[in-house]
Structure 1
Amino acid sequence: MSYTGPEFESPQPRRPRRGPLTVALAALVPGALLGWGVYEALGDGGSDGEVRTASSASSASSASAASASSASRTASSAPAPAASRGDDGKVSGSPSAPSSGSGALQGKVVVIDPGHNPGNFRHTAEINRQVDIGTNSKECDTTGTSTNDGYTEARFTLDLAHRLRDLLEREGATVKLTHDGDTPPWGPCVDERARIGNAAHADAAISLHADGSDAGNRGFHVILPGSVHAGAADTRPIVGPSHELGVRVAGTYLRETGEPPANYVGGGTGLVTRTDLGGLNLSTVPKVFIECGNMRDNTDAALLTSGTWRQRAAQGISEGIVSFLRDS
């Protein structure tokens, strides 16, 4: 997802635009992470005039505890992808397969939302349709961004979603995908993506993306829902648990991948709050977005295009979700 949005970049292949964003969140990221230490709490005024305040001590404590409890787990212990999986991670089967595991997450439901869809390039009229996101209307979906060599965000997110699904199902969770590339052949629209998580009564939902910012801008960030109460949107009940989910995912993602927090948004925390994303505004379940890196930066692009690294990324995201669900 390009930060040149406001929600996604313009639906033109590989041509991101820059535009407004709501950056701000003050948070403490776990001190146990690889050499990053304790992030300072800070407040920041977003482009919409809102001022974000520092995250609560309880959120930081929960994130630190989650990191400490899994400190002995390393990227080398991440399960290997299934033998039948190609580099794109494509596997056969329903995008809403029930769990067959017997782990600690039995009874928990996770919805994974792979950002964009490889078929969006062939359905520009459909994805340009305006939908209501509570605060205003936006495009149904967009094509997403790509690396300079043409590796698309939609291809990346779908591969990562398959890897993440495998890991969570091994923990016993029931995992549902909002789409599986060709089912449906485009979209779904951002409002429908939120409704899929709501209808599943998900215990946690995450939308997977990669950014399309300028070269030299690198690193990941997790996007948290801001407080919205307008039209069909009311995020107030999920702001707290979504923040906790985001802090944990940010911490474990950093530890497992070594990818630094973004150097261009979030003030070095790896956390950003936004109120202009339909997938968050319309969610009634705890949900976050993760921008896994910047596809237009050569250093990040080399990671994002590596199947080995994507497995580490899936492991980091999985551990954050598992930690959140075990303690919720």
Structure 2
Amino acid sequence: MLSTDRKAARANPGRTQLLSALSQYGVLATLILLIVFGALRYTGFMSEYNFSTFLRYNSMFGLISLGMCFVIITGGIDLSVGSVVAMSSVVAALLSPYGVVVAVLGAVAAGGLVGLINGLVITRLNIQPFITTLATLLGARGMALLLARNQSGVGIDPGNTALTWLGQGDFLRLPVPGVIMIIAFVIGGIALRSSPFGRHALAIGGGEDASKLMGLNVGRIKLGVYVLSGALAGLAGMILAAQLGAGQPTEGLGWELSAIAGVVVGGTLLTGGVGSVWSTLVGAMLLGLIFNILNFENGKGIISLSPYWQSVIRGGFLLLVVVLQSRLGRQEGKG
């Protein structure tokens, strides 16, 4: 695959650069156009309240999309993140009487543990990521309900105001969850492009056998990306509990599909080897913005779309981008 891409690049560098530019900037241009559209059409769209609410809620999808980006770059997939968010939110609530540090670290550790299990099964037992993470999706969901004792929610200790501040508070007039997400993406962007871990992850996605011949520790890198994905899902679960004031064992249904959609819409190839942390952020925010616009449109009373349309739109976006990726890849190969 890599040799084909290199031959195509040498044969027609202009087309390759054009395809690269479209992948990198097309989603950003769409995001900007939607912001301009919303600002012109809806009263209050550019208000501080809408911006804060949007960023506060979508920060969780941004975090799990960041972890999913690293997984997909290596050619893998993680279907367990939605259930891990739910389980980790319950863990954070249960640990809230012991202080904010214990609650946060406990939620992240719980998610990281699921990621560790995923990584070990995939790398040591050579089980396909789809099957492995589907199994842990079910296991984490069941564990969330067990920890919550089949209750619909587990309340956070009222005295732990520091934990609720992480979900509901503001820092420099920005929602704290949004600040956490931005910091995570800055670290992730640096790690992907400037650290051996990120460069090796890209190399493994481009060709696992070739990476082994180069002497890369493929198993360790793949294990690392699944632990990272689980830990970020755990962090998102902590934010969920802090926002709602309770652990939510039934939340997170379908969130893994939102993360995959955000990553792929951002230009990361499902086959691995190509991806960008910042494009993933733009892709995740684009999907969130579409739903935000739909809410404003419902408010105008001209059309009325139920929340179930979110899943239809998300699925349509994902299918469209995958088809475009496939066709552009074929054209580049022929070039």
The normalised TM-score by structure 1 is 0.25
- Higher share of residues assigned helix: 2
Q: Higher strand share goes to which structure? A: 1
> TM-score if structure 2 supplies the norm length?
0.25
Q: Could you say which structure has the larger radius of gyration?
A: 2
